[in-house]
């Protein structure tokens, strides 16, 4: 680590991680995260070795593709202006290395902009760009046929096979998920700031660790450990109490709680062991459960987490609470990487429009649905006459927000229903004019339909072109090596790691054998009393990671929470299937739900197009039988006392 004030900042935390030699933080989880986060870590710590900033997601790639098609930049300009520019003096003085994927569809463009800012500040900072993820030229050269379907589970590969584009003109962006070694090449060449396009999020952390520790492409366990650290850090405060099942705990935490959330820092040892923490006097909390929720977030098969540089096995990772706000992470295992890279494809879809109406009074939900259906029926009656459109609007969704609208059959059975509701109307159609008619017919509902309608005063909604995200695979040997451009130097090639297992130690997972449980004297309790959960999206698929609060509870979760139970619980949202995976090392389960988001983040008509609510739905509406003698150990005792 740097030799400045680290011990003053962390106090005894560094004493609890005596073998740690690298400190790395993450100051961004997505495009739109707080621009103040980087300053918190860079100025508040004063001795960070590396600072990662993750700004890309599947949805983000679509937004950047839309911006670029409109003649705007393909990178995230505000990252340079709002995050980097104010911190250039601190970057120069601390020599903290910055690694970010904010380059989006144009890493060189962002590199050039940052270099302009550096020149204006009269500082000496070297910027590098990683390129090679953009596959549009490859596809134009006839490589479209090289794309293979991507399967989110070990089931038959079929989920996206019918959606792969057959024509290049249907594709607006195509990017391969690169790994960490191009970042390593940039750091080895002396870069202070590394800008990438699409790479796996964890590579933003793994790259610096390889650079510092000298791990080789065959050190699979270390590469797996570094990838896990990156996965935990990549979503910022989701590791430190944000988006946490017990969120009210972090809300009222010391350090001003949610209003001053501490961003995560990893203290990493050469063997890949890590301690996760945050700055003192910041809000949030770092516990086994906050770190565990994030570890399970957006994971498919935890024994086969496919990455460009390694296959990560999470099943026997252990999370240990070493001290207050300090969690040790060990036990990641790695295997040789696959011979393919995942590809993000953005294609055009139909047009879409969304609007909301606010209704009040008795039976507000019933009135809202009647209003929404009447609007759609009226528009379909008008389309042939005023727009000469024969095809009716058939793809639409009406959602009543505020009255358990996303819970489906799990909504509370009570007469005490709130007398107000937000009606969300979303529709898509191949002809933009059809949605223009819908937009015009929304406001008249206030005078011609249900009483107590308001909230449409923000103006008539404008139909926009919908985009679709498709995941695919492409063989590495069909791609040219990535290139690294450091400062004004000539590009340097960064080859893909070999999949050879020569001279490598490869370990296998330890199977879990659950103990036999007695069915005598058991009580069904709310799942939230036994576990926490977090959910996230992968295209049109969602994962729900469930983490037992105590190891004693884990066998009961394994016994009760089967794939069939979860599939039945989400039958109102699920069009595919559910696969269950066990992570016994952390007392966790992972459920992968396929075809459950209405098309995914860019194309779904649902309010929750990214599966953010699924974990909360499961823990708040599902029950699990446990032995009565465990009741005093459960959380949320006010719920237990009602049993």
- Residue 356: inside a domain: no
Q: Which of 299, 315, 338 is the last residue of a domain?
A: 338
Q: What integer is the mean pLDDT of 231-243?
A: 98
- Residue 304: inside a domain: yes
Range with the largest mean pLDDT of 22-31, 138-147, 493-502: 22-31
Could you give the 3-state DSSP secondary structure of residue 519? coil
- Residue 250: inside a domain: yes
Q: Which of 338, 357, 390 is the last residue of a domain?
A: 338
Q: Which of 276, 303, 338 is the last residue of a domain?
A: 338
CB-count burial class (<10 Å; 0-12, 13-18, 19+) for 481: middle
- Residue 515: inside a domain: no
Place 620 in a pLDDT band, splitting at 50, 70 and 90. Answer: very high
- Residue 302: inside a domain: yes
Q: Which of 524, 26, 619, 578 is nearest to 293 (CA)?
A: 619
Place 503 in a pLDDT band, splitting at 50, 70 and 90. Answer: low
* Predicted local confidence at residue 164, as pLDDT: 78
Helices 37-45 and 85-94: angle between axes, nearest 10 degrees:
30
What phi and psi, each to the nearest 5 degrees, are found at residue 16?
A: -80, -15
* Predicted local confidence at residue 507, as pLDDT: 58
Q: Which of 531, 518, 549, 514 is nearest to 628 (CA)?
A: 518
CA atoms of 267 and 329, how far apart (whole Å): 10
Place 501 in a pLDDT band, splitting at 50, 70 and 90. Answer: low
Quote the number of domains for the chain: 2
CA atoms of 450 and 72, how far apart (whole Å): 43
Q: Which residue has the higher pLDDT, 11 or 153?
A: 153
Tokens of 552: 């004693």
Q: Which domain holds residue 211?
A: 21-133+177-338
* Predicted local confidence at residue 411, as pLDDT: 80
Task: Provide the CB-side half-sphere exposure for 477 (13 A, CA).
Answer: 4
Helix ranges (H only) for 277-335 are 288-296
What phi and psi, each to the nearest 5 degrees, are found at residue 614?
A: -65, -40
Q: What integer is the mean pLDDT of 516-520?
A: 79
- Residue 67: inside a domain: yes
- Residue 590: inside a domain: yes
Give the tens place of pLDDT for each residue, 78-113: 999 999 999 999 999 999 999 999 999 999 999 999
- Residue 602: inside a domain: yes
* Predicted local confidence at residue 641, as pLDDT: 87
Q: Which of 442, 366, 371, 370 is nearest to 403 (CA)?
A: 366
Place 7 in a pLDDT band, splitting at 50, 70 and 90. Answer: very low
* Predicted local confidence at residue 8, as pLDDT: 44
Q: Which residue has the higher pLDDT, 539 or 157?
A: 539
DSSP one-letter code for 205: H
User: Could you tell me the end-to-end alpha-carbon distance of the chain, in angstroms, rounded to an integer?
Assistant: 52
Cβ-based neighbour number of residue 162 at 10 Å: 7
Question: pTM for this structure?
Answer: 0.93
* Predicted local confidence at residue 15, as pLDDT: 66
Is the confidence at residue 144, as pLDDT, over 90?
A: no
Of all residues in the chain, what percent carry a pLDDT higher than 90? 76
DSSP-derived secondary structure for 266-313? EEE-TTS-EEEE--TT-BS---HHHHHHHHHTT-S-TT-EE-SS-EEE
């Amino acid at each position: 680590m740097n030799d400045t004030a680290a011990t003053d900042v962390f106090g005894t935390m560094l004493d609890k991680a005596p073998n740690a030699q690298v400190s790395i933080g993450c100051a961004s989880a997505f495009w739109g995260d707080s621009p103040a986060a980087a300053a918190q870590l860079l100025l508040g710590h004063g001795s960070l070795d590396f600072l990662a900033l993750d700004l890309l997601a599947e949805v983000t790639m679509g937004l950047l593709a839309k911006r670029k098609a409109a003649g705007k930049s393909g990178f995230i300009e505000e990252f340079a202006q709002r995050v980097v520019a104010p911190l250039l003096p601190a970057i120069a003085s601390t020599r903290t290395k910055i690694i970010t994927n904010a380059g989006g569809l144009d890493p060189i463009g962002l590199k050039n902009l940052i270099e302009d800012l550096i020149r204006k500040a009269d500082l000496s900072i070297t910027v590098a760009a990683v390129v090679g993820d953009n596959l549009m030229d490859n596809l134009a050269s006839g490589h479209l046929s090289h794309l293979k379907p991507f399967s989110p589970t070990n089931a038959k590969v079929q989920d996206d096979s019918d959606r792969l584009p057959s024509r290049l003109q249907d594709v607006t962006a195509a990017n391969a998920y690169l790994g960490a070694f191009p970042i390593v090449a940039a750091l080895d060449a002396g870069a202070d700031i590394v800008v990438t396009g699409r790479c796996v999020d964890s590579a933003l952390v793994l790259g610096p660790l390889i650079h510092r520790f000298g791990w080789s492409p065959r050190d699979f366990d270390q590469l797996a450990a570094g990838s896990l650290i990156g996965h935990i850090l990549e979503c910022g405060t989701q590791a430190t109490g944000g988006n946490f099942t017990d969120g009210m705990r972090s809300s009222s935490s010391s350090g001003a709680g949610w209003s001053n959330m501490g961003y995560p820092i990893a203290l990493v040892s050469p063997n890949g062991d890590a301690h996760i923490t945050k700055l003192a006097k910041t809000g949030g909390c770092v516990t086994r459960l906050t770190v565990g929720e994030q570890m399970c977030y957006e994971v498919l098969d935890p024994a086969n987490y496919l990455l460009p540089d390694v296959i990560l096995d999470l099943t026997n990772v252990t999370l240990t609470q070493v001290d207050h706000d300090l969690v040790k992470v060990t036990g990641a295992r790695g295997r040789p990487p696959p011979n393919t890279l995942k590809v993000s494809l953005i294609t055009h879809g139909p047009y879409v429009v969304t609007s909301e109406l606010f209704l009040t009074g008795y039976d507000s939900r019933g009135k809202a649905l009647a209003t929404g259906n009447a609007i759609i029926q009226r528009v379909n009656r008008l389309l042939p006459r005023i727009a000469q459109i024969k095809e009716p609007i058939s793809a639409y969704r009406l959602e009543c927000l505020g009255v358990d609208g996303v819970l489906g059959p799990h909504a509370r059975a009570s007469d005490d229903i709130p007398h107000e509701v937000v009606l969300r109307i979303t529709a898509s159609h191949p002809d933009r004019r059809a949605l223009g008619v819908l937009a015009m017919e929304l406001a008249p509902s206030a005078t011609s339909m249900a009483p107590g309608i308001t909230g449409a005063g923000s103006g008539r909604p404008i139909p926009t072109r919908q985009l679709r995200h498709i995941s695919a695979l492409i063989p590495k040997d069909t791609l040219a090596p990535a290139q690294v451009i450091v400062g004004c130097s000539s590009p340097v090639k960064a080859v893909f790691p070999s999949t050879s297992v020569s001279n490598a130690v490869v370990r296998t997972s330890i199977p879990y054998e659950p103990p036999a449980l007695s069915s005598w004297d058991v009580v069904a309790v709310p799942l939230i009393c036994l576990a926490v959960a977090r959910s996230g999206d992968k295209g049109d698929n969602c994962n729900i990671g469930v983490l037992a609060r105590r190891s004693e509870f884990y066998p009961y979760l394994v016994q009760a929470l089967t794939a069939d139970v979860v599939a039945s619980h989400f039958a109102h949202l699920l069009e595919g299937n559910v696969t269950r995976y066990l992570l016994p090392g952390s007392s966790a389960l992972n459920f992968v739900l396929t075809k459950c988001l209405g098309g995914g983040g860019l194309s779904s008509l649902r309010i929750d197009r990214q599966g953010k609510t699924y974990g909360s739905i499961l823990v708040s509406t599902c029950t699990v039988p446990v032995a009565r003698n465990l009741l005093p150990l459960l959380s949320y005792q006010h719920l237990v006392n009602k049993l």
